Chain A
């Protein structure tokens, strides 16, 4: 899926944190980042969707990654960011606690996720990389955005 890691030896990633854990997405999938402003709630949308915002003239849904991973929501602060990602023709905003780092991760530093690691966000993790003493969970964007995927609260799966 993540072509950047598959075809080259070094993948470029953007790092962000959600509830104290560091996650990564390939920069190729990230359009831009924004400070978060007013979000308009959309009635009857999935529970992990906070609503919609305008981003560069487009109506973009806001996926709250805390909610998506089964953590409690927290109030927005100055570090809260909206990472606007593109998956095929879809453009979606991911709400994260903080994001500010780009890193290059060698393809061979990425391991498949360990069984024991399959926690709340486990099903969205594609690989695990350790950079120094830091553990970075590389996410699979498709799975995060997949509507049909069971919600984290669902004990099945």
Chain B
């Protein structure tokens, strides 16, 4: 891949690679889904032809796009898979158990090859799986119709078609017209078959793509293509075929649609998460500007005629509403269905069940449940781990299950349901349940402190989640890997979630994860009070005002300010939290709560606004009323997050200024 890193002005090769990986993901995902569908239909009469067709197209596309990035191993493997599908489509063979296993294995290897290329790691070998598939083809194909290997691909051109050398040089002008290398590839794929494709860097440092293509192309088409930056010339020879060779139909008839994933009008836009983050930051800036505008307006209010002032106020209120709607809209864009992680699981379960020789059925529920993109990325591993755990530790072998009077096939139910701010994910199996005696013995042997008496579910959970704990002596490749469930626990902790265990011997085990939908990230105003920094969740702040200390009235032991025609009690954070106080003649005040519960929290100044990751504070030693959690502003230093609602409630219920420790804030 000598082109990589070459200076390319208009089209960066790495952008192109990103597109490639994204497209691979789609095709691999599609292929897996179809393979699973195929599996359920085995032995139940004729296979649905459209499933085979679609599967074929996925592999065909993978071959094509892999060729364009010169990932030869992937191209070759996809080609093998495609060839086998070709045989199956031609009706020459029924998909067998072996055949399906080979397709699964091939898809898995293909995925590994692509992932390795992406991570710039050495590619896994493909020869074994390649020859396994080739063997199947040789066995299944009609006698004398052995499929030619990849090198001979060019000789498989259909009769009457010609071979062409085509080269395409992308340019900004073409891009503006919507013509990219993908466009050309689709065009070619629609008119025949792409035999090879490769990028190259031209003498002037631009990038170009060379295709060898076979198909029927008339003069008008050639002219049209040439207008779109395509150079086309006939290749030597006419792509003649060895007599009697190919009996299968053209993979993609000119009148049949190309990959639906490519041509179907998509209603989904793929957006880079950092762009959403940028947008979110922009909204944050807007919020701050809005606060500044409020300050300025406050100063000019007296100089305006009441009617003018009213109309400004109306506009400001409308602006507030719009800012909030915009913010919520962007938060919604970040929500993705948990199906995104769930749909990978059938594949995982299938692989693992195969390795462990168990029979496992996976049920998915509530895939449409939405959670923040931030969370879904971090949920993937814990869920994956628990599903693996259920297969390798929960579900018994078929023999054991029969002996226990159960159906030979175990069931794992993976479900998601959202309740308010929390999404509950359950991984339930109908296996053997957690063996409390074994867990306790194992924990003791590992030197973990074990409370006396028979452990309850919570104790069992804390034991099996302890670092280094594993009930299996050998860390099996499935779920063990020597890390056990402690990684799940720490991932859940990090997301401010909670984890529960329900288990009954012989009946099954359920792991329950309660995770925040969006709560883990929130927008906050960052404020200084005395020497300390605090974060205040923006959602709980109604308004930020600037107040002159001279304007604060002392009423008994409380301070008040005039606010919207009434009095607003003020609590100074520096006094409440004894942070020490710098003498200032102006303070920033967060207005929280409404009506009689409204409260102003005075800080020295607001130093910024940003998105924060909320971490819970769980230890009773530091669980203090009015503190909702902690966050890190990027320097590793803990910044406490205020809970204005609790502060306001406490103010109302207890007018005294003293706050005692140990009140359970939340």
Quick one: which of A58-75 are within 8 Å of B by CB?
Answer: 58-61, 63
**Are A42 and B640 within 8 A (Cβ)?**
yes
**How far apart are the CA atoms of A28 and B468 in the complex, in Å?**
12
Instruction: Chain A residues near B578: list those with CB within 8 A.
Output: 43
**Are A59 and B621 within 8 A (Cβ)?**
no
**Are A90 and B638 within 8 A (Cβ)?**
no
User: Beta-carbon contacts of B641-665 to A below 8 Å, as 1s and 0s?
Assistant: 0000000000000000001111000
A55 to chain B, nearest CB (A): 10
User: Beta-carbon contacts of A17-31 to B below 8 Å, as 1s and 0s?
Assistant: 000000000001101
B633 to chain A, nearest CB (A): 11
User: Beta-carbon contacts of B314-355 to A below 8 Å, as 1s and 0s?
Assistant: 000000000000000000000000000000000000000000
A96 at the interface (CB under 8 A from B): no
**Are B448 and A52 within 8 A (Cβ)?**
no
User: Beta-carbon contacts of B488-526 to A below 8 Å, as 1s and 0s?
Assistant: 001001100000000000000000000000000000000
The count of chain A contact residues (Cβ–Cβ below 8 Å) is: 37
A5 to chain B, nearest CB (A): 11
Contact for A88 among B462, B490, B632, B637, CB less than 8 A: B462
**Are A42 and B624 within 8 A (Cβ)?**
yes
**Are B636 and A3 within 8 A (Cβ)?**
no
**How far apart are the CA atoms of A18 and B640 in the complex, in Å?**
29
**How far apart are the CA atoms of A43 and B448 in the complex, in Å?**
34
**How far apart are the CA atoms of A2 and B451 in the complex, in Å?**
10
Instruction: Chain B residues near A145: list those with CB within 8 A.
Output: 621
Contact for B638 among A43, A59, A147, CB less than 8 A: A59
Instruction: Chain B residues near A40: list those with CB within 8 A.
Output: 532, 630, 637-640
**How far apart are the CA atoms of A151 and B239 in the complex, in Å?**
91
Quick one: which of B571-618 are within 8 Å of A by CB?
Answer: 576-579, 615-618
**Are B449 and A3 within 8 A (Cβ)?**
yes
**Are B576 and A43 within 8 A (Cβ)?**
yes
Contact for A89 among B462, B624, B662, CB less than 8 A: B462
Among residues of B, the one whose C-beta sits closest to the C-beta of A53 is B638
User: Beta-carbon contacts of B391-412 to A below 8 Å, as 1s and 0s?
Assistant: 0000000000000000000000
**Are B493 and A1 within 8 A (Cβ)?**
no
Quick one: which of B83-141 are within 8 Å of A by CB?
Answer: none
Instruction: Chain B residues near A89: list those with CB within 8 A.
Output: 462
Instruction: Chain B residues near A91: list those with CB within 8 A.
Output: 619
Instruction: Chain A residues near B448: list those with CB within 8 A.
Output: 3, 28
**Are B490 and A60 within 8 A (Cβ)?**
no
B565 at the interface (CB under 8 A from A): no
Given known pairs A44-B661, A89-B462, the reply for A59 and B449 (CB within 8 Å) is no
**Are A43 and B630 within 8 A (Cβ)?**
no
Range for the number of chain B residues in contact with chain A: 35 or more
Among residues of A, the one whose C-beta sits closest to the C-beta of B622 is A61
Contact for A3 among B450, B532, B621, CB less than 8 A: B450
**How far apart are the CA atoms of A21 and B449 in the complex, in Å?**
26
Given known pairs A4-B447, A38-B637, A57-B494, the reply for A63 and B621 (CB within 8 Å) is yes
**Are B447 and A46 within 8 A (Cβ)?**
no
Quick one: which of B235-262 are within 8 Å of A by CB?
Answer: none
Instruction: Chain B residues near A38: list those with CB within 8 A.
Output: 636-638
B542 at the interface (CB under 8 A from A): no
Instruction: Chain A residues near B629: list those with CB within 8 A.
Output: 59
Instruction: Chain B residues near A45: list those with CB within 8 A.
Output: 621-622, 624, 661
**Are B621 and A49 within 8 A (Cβ)?**
yes
B292 at the interface (CB under 8 A from A): no
A126 to chain B, nearest CB (A): 13
A41 to chain B, nearest CB (A): 7
Instruction: Chain B residues near A7: list those with CB within 8 A.
Output: 444
Contact for B449 among A54, A57, A88, CB less than 8 A: A88
A102 to chain B, nearest CB (A): 14
B620 at the interface (CB under 8 A from A): yes
**Are A44 and B624 within 8 A (Cβ)?**
yes
B227 to chain A, nearest CB (A): 57
B436 to chain A, nearest CB (A): 17
Among residues of A, the one whose C-beta sits closest to the C-beta of B489 is A89
Instruction: Chain A residues near B8: list those with CB within 8 A.
Output: none
B625 at the interface (CB under 8 A from A): yes
> Which residue, of A61, A87, A145, has the highest number of chain B Cβ atoms within 10 A?
A61
**How far apart are the CA atoms of A38 and B490 in the complex, in Å?**
23
Instruction: Chain A residues near B494: list those with CB within 8 A.
Output: 57-58
Among residues of A, the one whose C-beta sits closest to the C-beta of B490 is A57
Instruction: Chain A residues near B622: list those with CB within 8 A.
Output: 42, 45, 49, 51-52, 59, 61
**How far apart are the CA atoms of A1 and B448 in the complex, in Å?**
11
B643 to chain A, nearest CB (A): 12
> Which residue, of A4, A41, A53, has the highest number of chain B Cβ atoms within 10 A?
A41
**Are B638 and A92 within 8 A (Cβ)?**
no
Instruction: Chain B residues near A29: list those with CB within 8 A.
Output: 449
Instruction: Chain A residues near B630: list those with CB within 8 A.
Output: 40, 52, 54, 59
Instruction: Chain B residues near A2: list those with CB within 8 A.
Output: 449
**Are B662 and A147 within 8 A (Cβ)?**
yes
Among residues of B, the one whose C-beta sits closest to the C-beta of A3 is B449
**How far apart are the CA atoms of A29 and B444 in the complex, in Å?**
13
**How far apart are the CA atoms of A145 and B621 in the complex, in Å?**
8
B627 at the interface (CB under 8 A from A): yes
> Which residue, of B447, B624, B625, B637, has the highest number of chain A Cβ atoms within 10 A?
B447
A141 to chain B, nearest CB (A): 9
Contact for A60 among B462, B619, B624, CB less than 8 A: B619
Quick one: which of A85-122 are within 8 Å of B by CB?
Answer: 87-92
**How far apart are the CA atoms of A59 and B493 in the complex, in Å?**
10
**Are B624 and A54 within 8 A (Cβ)?**
no
**Are A28 and B627 within 8 A (Cβ)?**
no
**How far apart are the CA atoms of A38 and B636 in the complex, in Å?**
9
**How far apart are the CA atoms of A53 and B624 in the complex, in Å?**
15
A154 to chain B, nearest CB (A): 15
**Are B632 and A90 within 8 A (Cβ)?**
no
**How far apart are the CA atoms of A3 and B451 in the complex, in Å?**
9
**Are A41 and B532 within 8 A (Cβ)?**
yes
B491 to chain A, nearest CB (A): 9
Instruction: Chain B residues near A42: list those with CB within 8 A.
Output: 622, 624, 627, 640
Instruction: Chain A residues near B661: list those with CB within 8 A.
Output: 44-46
B233 to chain A, nearest CB (A): 60
**How far apart are the CA atoms of A4 and B621 in the complex, in Å?**
26
Among residues of A, the one whose C-beta sits closest to the C-beta of B577 is A43
29 A-B pairs within 8 Å (CB atoms) are namely A1-B449, A4-B447, A28-B447, A28-B448, A31-B467, A37-B637, A38-B637, A40-B638, A40-B639, A41-B579, A42-B640, A43-B624, A44-B625, A44-B659, A46-B661, A49-B621, A49-B622, A52-B638, A52-B640, A53-B638, A54-B637, A57-B493, A58-B490, A59-B619, A59-B622, A61-B619, A61-B621, A147-B620, A147-B621
Apart from A3-B449, A88-B451, what are 5 other A-B pairs with CB-CB below 8 Å?
A3-B450, A44-B625, A45-B624, A46-B621, A88-B462
Shortest beta-carbon contacts, A-B, top 7: A43-B577, A40-B638, A61-B622, A44-B661, A61-B621, A28-B447, A59-B630
Residues of A near any B CB (own CB < 8 A): 1-4, 7, 28-29, 31, 37-38, 40-46, 49, 51-54, 56-61, 63, 87-92, 145, 147
Residues of B near any A CB (own CB < 8 A): 444, 447-451, 462, 467, 490, 493-494, 532, 576-579, 615-622, 624-625, 627, 629-630, 632, 636-640, 659-662
